[in-house]
Amino acid sequence: MSGRRGRVRLEDVAEVAGVSAKTVSNVIRNYRYVSDATRTKVEAAMAELGYRVNLSARALASNQTGFIALAIPGLDNPYYSRLAGYVIDAAREHDWIVLIEQTGSSEALEKAAVSGAGSQLVDGVILQPDAIGHADLTGRFAHHNLVLIGESGVTASADHVTADAAAAARELVEHLLAQGRSRIATVGIRPQDRPNASELRYRGLSQAVESAGLQVRAEYLIPVSRNRRPDGAEAVDQLLALDEPPDAIICFNDLVGSGVLARLRERGVRVPGDIAVAGFDDNEESRFTYPPLTSVAFDLEAIARRCVQRLLLRAGPDGADQPPVRTVVGHRLVVRGSTVASD
């Protein structure tokens, strides 16, 4: 409550409407058994006084805040800002307000999101677990209403919403093989110690390459620190310095892909003539790069809707008893000029 305004209390409305506070409360919360006459009276009184609930008081009394947290690496990646937008929209439909927590994929901040001070003021948490360990996901202070997003090796007994990253990686490799590429490089964050989204993507790629009877060459796996455009540009320099450069580069997201394309152009390498390039996430930008970037699109809206839906279910009466569910949303390969020459 911000104070100053909002002086009008529920009790005041009750007085004007000539009913009890409880009845006003019933009207506000759309309780079923209120006569139409009473409801109309109360609504008139609310309008007249300009009444609005005090959410702090409601939260204290009802033990529900109406907030959910979305803990993601950062909004500076279009993938996450788009996801955030969808989550906000999906949450609004259930009168939930979204708190965005930027974790930077750091263990400390992911932990804080799940069990920090703020965690006790949200009715649920949606988390992308990049660095956090299993113990912290289920520890003493961990939020009981948790949905995990993205591929990860974390096997906490929590709901999980993700796309099939390994399958997506496989399709991408197969597409490149079909274009006659055989020396496939990858550029992306190297997993630290645990199997997170990046690691699983690596595995999917490796498997696909090997199933084709090709070798996964160590010098073609370029680790970067941040999965951003400048990292992609640097990786290109490393790859072009090799005795036998790759003929295809798979980037772990389109941001890296953007940097890779820019650098290849500067270096005078033709795409896809000399080297094909592809990414993940299907950022809008990728339709406007030169050449347009082939990418794997994930159904972010479905992820968002599903997360909110699970949270809602668990916040309900017997939600805690539900067994954890794993939801896999769709993805599709969007082929563009960076892997297939146009005309």
Residues that bind its own copies (CB under 8 A): 1-6, 50, 52-57, 59-60, 63-65, 74-76, 78, 81-82, 84-85, 88, 97-100, 102, 117-124, 140-141, 143-145, 228-229, 233, 258-259, 261-262, 265, 284-285, 287-290
Among 57, 108, 320, 341, binds DNA (CB under 7 A): 57
Side chain identity, residue 130 = D
The verdict on 48 binding DNA (CB under 7 A) reads no
Q: Which is nearer to its own copies, 175 or 336 (CB)?
A: 336
User: Where do the H-state alpha helices sit in the chain?
Assistant: 10-17, 21-28, 36-49, 55-62, 78-92, 107-115, 134-138, 165-178, 197-211, 229-240, 254-266, 300-315
Residue 26 binds which entry of DNA, its own copies, none, CB below 5-8 Å type-dependent: DNA
Q: Yes or no: say if 147 and 125 are a contact pair by the CB < 8 Å rule.
A: yes
Q: Which is nearer to its own copies, 40 or 64 (CB)?
A: 64
Sole window of 59-67, 175-183, 204-212, 265-273 interacting with DNA (rule: CB under 7 A): 59-67
Please give the radius of gyration of the chain, using alpha carbons only, rounded to the nearest integer.
25
Q: Yes or no: say if 242 and 273 are a contact pair by the CB < 8 Å rule.
A: no
Q: Yes or no: say if 191 and 155 are a contact pair by the CB < 8 Å rule.
A: no
Q: Which is nearer to its own copies, 51 or 220 (CB)?
A: 51
The verdict on 21 binding DNA (CB under 7 A) reads yes
The pairing of strands 331-334 and 294-298 is: antiparallel
Residue 222 tokens, joined: 């370029």
Please classify residue 167 by burial: count the beta carbons closer than 10 Å to its beta carbon, then call 0-12 exposed, 13-18 middle and 19+ buried.
middle
The verdict on 225 binding DNA (CB under 7 A) reads no
Among 28, 88, 100, 335, binds DNA (CB under 7 A): 28
The verdict on 34 binding DNA (CB under 7 A) reads yes
The verdict on 30 binding DNA (CB under 7 A) reads no
Among 2, 4, 5, 33, binds DNA (CB under 7 A): 33
Quote the CA–CA distance of 158 and 171 in Å, as a whole number: 28
Among 15, 43, 49, 58, binds DNA (CB under 7 A): 58
Name the residue with tokens 């809707």. Answer: 305
Quote the CA–CA distance of 126 and 263 in Å, as a whole number: 36
- What interhelical angle do 21-28 and 10-17 show, nearest 10? 110
Count of residues in contact with DNA, rule CB under 7 A: 29
Residue 122 binds which entry of its own copies, DNA, none, CB below 5-8 Å type-dependent: its own copies
Q: How far is the CB of 173 from DNA (least distance, A)?
A: 53
Residue 281 tokens, joined: 């996430």
Binding-site ranges for DNA (CB under 7 A): 1, 7, 9-11, 18-23, 25-26, 28-29, 33-35, 37-38, 51, 53-54, 57-58, 60-63
